[in-house]
Amino acid sequence: MTTLVKPAQRPANPNFSSGPCAKRPGWSLQALSDAPLGRSHRAKVGKTKLKQAIDLTRDILQVPADYRIGIVPASDTGAVEMALWSLLGERGVDMVAWESFGAGWITDVVKQLKLGDARTIEAGYGELPDLAKVDFDRDVVFTWNGTTSGVRVPNGDFIPAGRKGLTICDATSAAFAQRLDFDKLDVVTFSWQKVLGGEGAHGMLILSPRAVERLESYKPAWPLPKIFRLTSGGKLIEGIFAGETINTPSMLCVEDYLDALNWAKSLGGLDGLAGRADRNFAALDAFVERTPWIANLAKVPATRSNTSVCLTIVDPEITALDKDAQASFAKNLVAVLEKEGVAYDIGAYRDAPSGLRIWAGATVETADLEALTLWLDWAFQSQKAALKQAA
Report the first-to-last Cα separation within the chain, whole angstroms. Answer: 13
Other C-beta atoms lying within 10 Å of the C-beta of residue 248 = 11
3-state SS, residue 224: coil
Query: What whole-number distance in Å separates Cα of residue 128 and Cα of residue 299?
Result: 9
3-state SS, residue 232: strand
Side chain identity, residue 251: M
Of the pLDDT bands very low, low, confident and very high (cuts 50, 70, 90), residue 2 is low
Task: Please state the rounded mean pLDDT for residues 51-63.
Answer: 98
For residue 364, which of 52, 117, 14, 41 has the smallest C-alpha distance? 14
What are the tens digits of pLDDT across the range 156-212?
999 999 999 999 999 999 999 999 999 999 999 999 999 999 999 999 999 999 999
Mean pLDDT for the chain overall: 97
What are the tens digits of pLDDT across the range 212-239?
999 999 999 999 999 999 999 999 999 9
pLDDT at position 221, please? 95
Sequence-ordered list of residues with C-beta below 8 angstroms from that of 136, at least 6 positions apart, any chain: 159, 160, 163, 164, 165, 167
pLDDT at position 138, please? 98
Residue 275 to residues 27, 177, 280, Cα–Cα distance (Å): 20, 8, 9
What are the tens digits of pLDDT across the range 65-85?
999 999 999 999 999 999 999
Report yes or no on whether pTM surpasses 0.85. yes
Query: What whole-number distance in Å separates Cα of residue 315 and Cα of residue 241?
Result: 51
Domain 270-386 has CATH 3.30.360.10: no
Other C-beta atoms lying within 10 Å of the C-beta of residue 114 = 9
Are the beta carbons of 130 and 157 closer than 8 angstroms?
no
Query: What whole-number distance in Å separates Cα of residue 301 and Cα of residue 299?
Result: 6
Are the beta carbons of 358 and 369 closer than 8 angstroms?
yes
Side chain identity, residue 230: L
Q: Count the residues in the chain.
A: 391
- pLDDT of residue 299 exceeding 90, the answer is yes
Across 159-192, b (16+ Cβ under 10 Å) vs e yields beeebebbbbbbbbbbbbbbebebebbbbbbbbb
Q: Containing H/E element for 187?
A: strand 187-191
- pLDDT of residue 1 exceeding 50, the answer is no
Cis peptide before 20 (omega within 30 of 0): yes
Beta-bridge partner residues of 313: 294
Task: Please state the rounded mean pLDDT for residues 285-305.
Answer: 98
Sequence-ordered list of residues with C-beta below 8 angstroms from that of 187, at least 6 positions apart, any chain: 83, 87, 166, 167, 168, 169, 205, 206, 207, 208, 211
CATH among 3.40.640.10, 3.90.1300.10, 3.40.47.10, 3.40.50.1370 for 29-266: 3.40.640.10
Query: What whole-number distance in Å separates Cα of residue 90 and Cα of residue 210?
Result: 13
Are the beta carbons of 382 and 389 closer than 8 angstroms?
no
CA 119 to chain centre: 24
Of the pLDDT bands very low, low, confident and very high (cuts 50, 70, 90), residue 390 is confident
Query: What whole-number distance in Å separates Cα of residue 199 and Cα of residue 196?
Result: 9
Domain ranges of the chain: 29-266, 270-386
- pLDDT of residue 335 exceeding 60, the answer is yes
Task: Please state the rounded mean pLDDT for residues 121-138.
Answer: 98
Beta-bridge partner residues of 121: 96
What are the tens digits of pLDDT across the range 18-44?
999 999 999 999 999 999 999 999 999
Query: What whole-number distance in Å separates Cα of residue 54 and Cα of residue 131?
Result: 32
* Burial grade of 65 (CB within 10 A; 0-12, 13-18, 19 or more): exposed
